[in-house]
């Protein structure tokens, strides 16, 4: 699928990547070169992200990136590797690892932050199991879109630098065009990485791995007393996950497959498989075709985060205390703090969405009563908060109900009592309630046009809109409208 314009003659990419992960014990990874593809064609390239990373993105450089990011060329000095890790998938442990991904190396950004550059769909690795090591164009475009959508919303996430078509088919539910995604992440260390490390490293090596992770993601802890470092690390990861999931909940995002191998230690959203945004509000909303029991439904996400963190805590026991019983007590005491952490983070998200500048005792009841009304009336989650910002509510039947009018009066009284009144409240709301989300039917339409008709215009327009989701834009009304008939029957797929 050659949808890119003709590129200029290839130029050399002279970028140094570091390899600190490759200095860890050899059991943590396997050195693997990407498998070359037949006919690479650059489909998408994220010029804004490239600028943030300090990467050349002029037209001549794109010819070189096309080869590198397809896996057909590896610049001198780069040392690709596939990371080993385990994971609890739907509650059951498995040996996993990068079955179709390769870490090209680590880049120091212009601001000094270290990030991973990873190819997804780059061919077979020792961890591919029964997989083909490849990825489908549609699913890579989906990850590009969703990761950039969450970035636009201000939610911590991995980023997408490029999608390159391979010119080779892959078979999933049907034959599809193949592609390679380039993913940028703070790192690819997961809860599942710790599950693997504790089972495959000596105690000294495992301590080295923890120190590496702390130095990379929680440098403030490097000065903490050694005997309390593992617990301090667990608490720091808990705080980031509480904040992350609260932000997901605030915009109606459903990750879809919160296995422990899909929880980033850095606190970023990672691994966009069967993810989606909720339209009609209901806590039991689930779209993933493989989540038949609703384990990873919208309303289950905080509890699953807690469960995953308990798994992380279990891996840290040998580093918390030499006595397993004492280590377990300390870990459990720390884990008990998560519900409080999450509630505090979620309530701040919801206060912002309602324009509440100050904390009051009845805030939680005000939020819960609104959500209960939304569920009873099958209200659109995103649009309800947008409508509350208006000087006059739309003439919708649900807003004429007595129970909503009573709630609305309570909320208006609450906002008028705070400094600046409703005007100040609306300013807060406008900064925290997106006008636009990646609505499922719009995503499917854009992906269908891109994969079946080689027409990227709908996808590019959607990406452009989602890059500024909090700003009213001069676009068609369809970008704010929920699907006709709701999301009944809508399914998403892992595509692995």
Active site residues: 261
Quick one: tokens of 240? 């980031």
Sign for the CA dihedral angle at 180, 183, 189, 191 comes to: negative
Cα(223)–Cα(127) distance, integer angstroms: 36
**Residue 439: closest CA among 494, 380, 390:** 380
- H or E stretch at 116: strand 114-120
Q: What is the CA radius of gyration of the chain?
A: 23
Yes or no: say if 322 and 230 are a contact pair by the CB < 8 Å rule: no
**C-alpha dihedral sign at 353, 354, 356, 360:** negative
Report the C-alpha gap between 348 and 337 in whole angstroms: 17
Contact by Cβ (8 Å): 287, 487: yes
Q: Where are the alpha helices (DSSP H) in 287-323?
A: 301-320
43 closest CA partner among 101, 1, 102: 1
**380: which strand partners?**
280
């Amino acid at each position: 699928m050659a949808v890119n314009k003709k590129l200029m003659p290839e130029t050399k990419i002279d970028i140094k990547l570091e390899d600190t992960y490759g200095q860890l014990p050899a059991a943590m990874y396997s050195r693997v070169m990407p498998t070359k593809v037949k006919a690479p064609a650059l489909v998408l390239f994220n010029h804004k992200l490239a600028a943030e990373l300090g990467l050349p993105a002029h037209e001549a450089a794109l010819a070189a990136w096309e080869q590198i990011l397809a896996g057909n060329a590896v610049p001198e000095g780069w040392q690709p590797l596939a990371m080993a890790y385990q994971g609890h998938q739907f509650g059951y442990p498995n040996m996993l690892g990068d079955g179709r991904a390769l870490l090209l190396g680590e880049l120091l950004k212009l601001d000094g932050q270290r990030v991973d550059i990873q190819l997804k769909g780059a061919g077979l690795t020792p961890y591919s199991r029964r997989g083909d090591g490849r990825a489908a164009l549609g699913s890579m475009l989906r990850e590009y879109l969703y990761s950039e959508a969450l970035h636009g919303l201000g939610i911590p996430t991995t980023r997408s630098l490029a999608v390159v078509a391979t010119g080779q088919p892959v078979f999933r539910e049907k034959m599809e065009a193949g592609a390679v995604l380039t993913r940028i992440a703070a790192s690819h260390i997961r809860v599942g990485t710790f599950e693997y490390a504790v089972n495959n490293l000596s105690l000294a090596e495992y301590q080295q791995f923890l120190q590496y992770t702390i130095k990379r993601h929680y440098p403030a802890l490097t000065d903490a007393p050694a005997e309390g470092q593992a617990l301090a690390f667990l608490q720091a990861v808990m705080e980031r996950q509480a904040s992350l999931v609260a932000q997901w909940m605030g915009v109606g995002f459903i990750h879809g497959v919160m296995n422990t191998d899909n929880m980033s230690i850095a606190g970023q959203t990672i691994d966009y498989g069967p993810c989606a945004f909720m339209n009609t509000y209901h806590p039991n909303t689930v779209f993933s075709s493989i989540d038949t029991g609703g384990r990873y439904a919208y309303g289950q996400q905080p509890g699953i985060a807690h469960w995953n963190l308990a798994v992380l805590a279990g891996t840290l026991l040998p580093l918390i205390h030499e006595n397993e019983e004492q280590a377990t007590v300390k870990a459990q005491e720390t884990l008990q703090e998560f519900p409080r952490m999450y509630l505090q983070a979620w309530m701040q998200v919801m206060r912002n969405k309602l324009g509440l500048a100050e904390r009051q005792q009845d805030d939680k009841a005000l939020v819960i009563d609104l959500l209960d009304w939304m569920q009873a009336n099958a209200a659109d989650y995103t649009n309800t908060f947008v409508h509350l910002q208006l000087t006059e509510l739309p003439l919708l039947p649900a807003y004429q109900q007595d129970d909503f009018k009573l709630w609305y009066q309570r909320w208006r009284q609450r906002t008028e009592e705070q400094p600046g009144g409703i005007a100040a409240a609306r300013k807060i709301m406008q900064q925290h309630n997106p006008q636009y989300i990646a609505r499922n039917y719009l995503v499917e339409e854009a992906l269908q046009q891109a994969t079946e008709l080689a027409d990227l215009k709908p996808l590019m327009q959607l990406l452009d809109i989602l890059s500024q989701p909090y700003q009213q834009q001069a676009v068609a009304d369809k970008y704010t409208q929920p699907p006709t008939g709701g999301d009944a029957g809508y399914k998403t797929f892992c595509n692995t």
